[in-house]
Structure 1
Amino acid sequence: MTATWFTAADCRLEDFRAVCEQKTELTGYPHATDVAGNVLIYPGDLPNTREIQGELIRALRDGPGIVVFTGAFAPDVVDRATAVFTALIDEQKAAGVRGGDHFAKPGANDRVWGALDKFALRDPAAFAAYYDNNTLALICQAWLGVGYQVTSQVNVVNPGGQAQVAHRDYHLGFMSQEQALRYPAHIHTLSPALTLQGAVAHVDMPVETGPTLYLPHSQKYPPGYIAFHQPEFTAYFEDHHVQLPLAKGDAAFFNPALFHGAGTNRSSDVRRMANLLQISSGFGRAMEAVDRTAMVAALYPVLLSHTGSVDNVIAASAEGYAFPTNLDRDQPIDGLAPPTQASLMRQAVAERRPADRFEAELAAADTRRDFRNP
């Protein structure tokens, strides 16, 4: 019988092992050139055909969950982008900006949040050369169809930068176990189909520089968004992960449900730069545009004396999700995601804050989230 809800008790390590210890067979993927550490390796010049898209879908969904394209981005194109990203990082440091991170201590590494639009505005010609990339279009169309939305975060792991704890990615991967448990099982199945994760190597990444650690096939474990929080699964990941060196211009793409985490940079002089691509389905939007700030400002005085369920009213009116946001200003300093409008409203009602104070807090939150604010 198919589960309707997952619990921590559903996470059994022996079941996880049975999934993850499958072998990736090259014969099932005729356009791949190799299998390394159970990861499929593809050339970076494949044509964009329905046949190849289908093969990549199977690789990400039913196979190892990760593919690497060698030479996907031309080195000179990468170097132009690297120059832009390096300048942005230098400017952040000069301004005293100490960036937060989802899975690392703030300031440990160098981040450029919202790198996509910053890149386009800083050097439109370099942006066009970089994103005019057939491999990127191929894998995005395969996993998400048309109308996808690209976002980018540049991550530089400096010498001595520590490995991340194994995790899954956005959406449910950016939640605590308690939060993830509130979503029914079919949403756990849906979440990986909403985004595609990618990383473009901007420098050569031998293993000592700490390229990303992966656990092939782990995306197929149904309660994995609960399991990755549990120590026995973390220990298994640490003992069984694979780590592939990448050359500048190589690109890895993976199912967001794959267990993974950045590795420790044990080099003495390599600043490991990757452009982390998160591509989202165009379907992740409501049908109507709604002015939720105006709604909750009008509702707040009513909720201070409301005798029914305040939570029900907040759920129907306030923005209950932290993303998208301007991560330069609205950073995940105290957790995996910034506070939501709904959580702000809930706390304000509980503390009986004056309406004018709540409206000022709403305005400040909107300012932090607005991409037009530097």
Structure 2
Amino acid sequence: MTWLNPDDVRLDDLLTDLKEQTDPADYPHAEHIEQQVPMYDASRVRTADPRAVQAEFATAFADGPGIVVLKGAFSNNVVDAATAELNRLIDEQHRSGAAAGDHFAKPGANDRVWNALEKLAIGAPEVFAAYYANDLLALVAVAWLGPAYQVTSQVNVVNPGGEGQTVHRDYHLGFQSDEVAALYPAHVHRLSSVLTLQGAVAHCDMPIESGPTLYLPHSQKYELGYLAYRRPEFSEYFVANHVQLPLEKGDAVFFNPALFHAAGSNRSRDIKRMANLLQISSAFGRAMESVDRTRMATAVYPVLLTLPKGAVDNVIAATAEGYAFPTNLDRDQPIGGLAPQSQADLLRQAVAEAWPAERLQQALADHAIRRHTGADSK
């Protein structure tokens, strides 16, 4: 099948994939299986053959439940030091009056620190180094992505009373609309889930009432999942059948981004549920050459105004950045969707509205500035 048709989405097909149960025999290094999820003890993993453990992780992510939990992956003193710095960043946001936008929650409802990775490295390099020296983080990243991976992180604090997310899949295709996702061939749907690994480190104890993340084990295997998760029948099934695992400070969860999941609602009275959300990316999702696409767009724009629409779209595809990420989500926030405007979107808008060249130049410059990090991007 070359193309996936949204009309072929069927809940029964997902249920067929969910019939498979997690077999403990496939995960001999796990302490036990809890709600379909292999639970690993960090101290035991550290003494095991790393290749054997990595094989189990890869099996879990691809053909198993799609998720593993590493109990005690980070020591309390390392987590506490990072938490203090992250709370400082949150306090700075509050004092500045900034409300970090979120993909799912209303700005200000929870506390979100975008690009916490860079901000922690710049603000507290010793704390950063102690945190990201973690051997199990490297072990699981290489198991799914191989070497030369890249780490990014976003800190999310769901405050008491904070509402949870709706079920979804994650980056890349999970951040696209159903209409856009359907434009990508079936093999790209399969590829998307092996380009990233999602993770979360618990920065406090997370009992069920605090709303730790909800998961649907084995759901990453449903091929049409990127076209399905917004459907009401899938959401209803997820709400009725998800699993939810309490975590302790220092525990780490890693999962296939195609796994159906959603942050839970915080029903506690006094727990500010803090997690460091890790998005680890493959080294291979990049072009071979560096290209100044802003310069190209400026040069080509007068010609675009003379071309028929089909030709315009093709030239823009060869000229501008067609993908909104990576970006600086403090300033380039997703308004009205899951992704901000791409450079190609901006160029298409300029052509459609026949902007003067000077307006496009300024818009491209502003777009580039919004995407940069630095001292002025907090």
TM-score by structure 1 length? 0.98
Aligned to 2:347: 345
Residue equivalent to 1:101: 102
Instruction: Tell me what 1:316 maps to.
Output: 318
Can you list the C-alpha shifts for 1:148-184, whole angstroms capped at 9, x where unaligned? Answer: 0000000000111111010000000001111100100
- Cα distance in 1, alignment partners of residues 237 and 25 from structure 2: 28
Structure 2: distance between partners of 1:229 and 1:296: 35
Structure 2 residue 275 is matched with structure 1 residue 274: yes
Between Structure 1 and Structure 2, how many residues are aligned? Answer: 372
Give the secondary-structure state (helix, strand or coil) at the position aligned to 2:330. Answer: coil
1:179-190 alignment to 2 at 5 Å? 179-190=180-191
1:137-152 alignment, distance < 5 Å: 137-152=138-153
CA distance in 1: counterparts of 2:278 and 2:241, whole angstroms? 25
Q: The residue matched to 2:79 in structure 1 has which SS?
A: helix
Task: Give 1:50 shift.
Answer: 1.4
SS in 2 for 1:55: helix
Higher alpha-carbon deviation: 48-57 or 137-146:
48-57
Unaligned residue ranges in structure 2 (runs of 5+): none
1:188 Cα deviation (Å)?
0.2
Equivalent position SS for 1:313 = helix
- Name 1:364's counterpart in structure 2: 366
Q: Which secondary structure state, in structure 1, belongs to the residue aligned with residue 193 of structure 2?
A: helix
Give the AA of the match of 2:303.
V
Q: Which piece of structure 1 moves more, 125-134 or 259-268?
A: 125-134
Q: Provide the secondary structure at the position in 1 that maps to 2:38.
A: strand
CA contact (8 A) 1:216 1:258 kept: yes
Aligned pairs for 1:55-74 within 5 A: 55-74=56-75
CA distance in 2, matches of 1:62, 1:15: 16
Contact 1:201 1:275 in 2 (8 A): yes
User: Equivalents in 2 of 1:352, 1:193: separation in Å?
Assistant: 40
Query: Structure 1 counterpart of 2:31, which letter?
Result: T
Give 1:255's aligned amino acid.
N
Q: By how many angstroms is 1:333 displaced?
A: 2.6
Contact 1:106 1:333 in 2 (8 A): no
Alignment of 1:198-347 (within 5 A): 198-307=199-308, 309-347=311-349
SS in 2 for 1:275: strand
Q: CA deviation at 1:309?
A: 1.4
Q: Read off the aligned partner of 1:108 and give its amino acid letter.
A: A
Q: Secondary structure at the match of 2:69?
A: strand
SS in 2 for 1:229: coil
CA shift, 1:21, in A, is: 3.2
1:140 deviation in Å?
Answer: 0.3
- What corresponds to 1:174 in structure 2? 175
Give the SS at the match of 2:220: helix
Matched residues in 1 for 2:317 and 2:274: separation?
40
Residue 38 of structure 1 and its aligned partner are, at CA, apart by 0.7
Per-residue deviation at 1:10? 1.8
Q: Which runs of 4+ in 1 moved over 2 A?
A: none
1:21-77 deviations in Å (ceiling 9; x for gaps): 321121221001111111110111313621111111001111000000000000111
| Alpha-carbon shift at residue 306 of structure 1 (Å) | 1.9
Is the partner of 2:99 in helix, strand or coil?
Answer: coil
Aligned partners of 1:24 and 1:38 also within 8 Å: yes
Q: Which moved more, 1:18-27 or 1:239-248?
A: 18-27
Kindly state the Cα deviation for residue 102 of structure 1 after the two structures are TM-superposed. 1.1
Measured against aligned partners, the alpha-carbon deviations of 1:246-298 in whole angstroms (never above 9, x if no partner) come to 00000000000000000000011111000000000011110000000000001
Give distance in 2, aligned partners of 1:126 and 1:361.
Answer: 38
Cα distance in 2 for partners of 1:21, 1:156 equals: 34
Residues 1-32 of structure 1: per-residue CA shift (max 9 Å, x gap): xx211111221111111212321121221001
Equivalent position SS for 1:309: helix
The amino acid of 1:84's aligned partner reads E
In 2, the alpha carbon distance for the partners of 1:304 and 1:108 equals: 43
SS of 2:28's equivalent in the other structure is coil
Distance 1:107 1:182 in 2: 34
Q: Give distance in 2, aligned partners of 1:195 and 1:284.
A: 10
112-121 or 306-315: bigger deviation:
306-315
- For 1:17, the equivalent position in structure 2 comes to 15
Q: Which amino acid aligns with 1:70?
A: K
Structure 1 residues 193-243: Cα deviation after superposition (integer angstroms, max 9, x where no partner): 000000000000000000000000000001100011211111111111000
Indicate if the aligned counterparts of 1:160 and 1:264 stay in contact, CA closer than 8 A: yes
What is aligned with 1:36? 34
Distance 1:283 1:127 in 2: 25
Report the TM-score when normalising by structure 2.
Answer: 0.97
The answer as to 2:77 corresponding to 1:76 is yes
**AA aligned opposite 2:70:** F
Query: What is the percent sequence identity of the aligned residues?
Result: 62
Give the C-alpha shift of residue 132 in structure 1. Answer: 1.0
**8 Å Cα contact 1:73-1:133 kept in structure 2:** yes
Unaligned runs of 5+ in 1: none
Q: Secondary structure at the match of 1:197?
A: strand
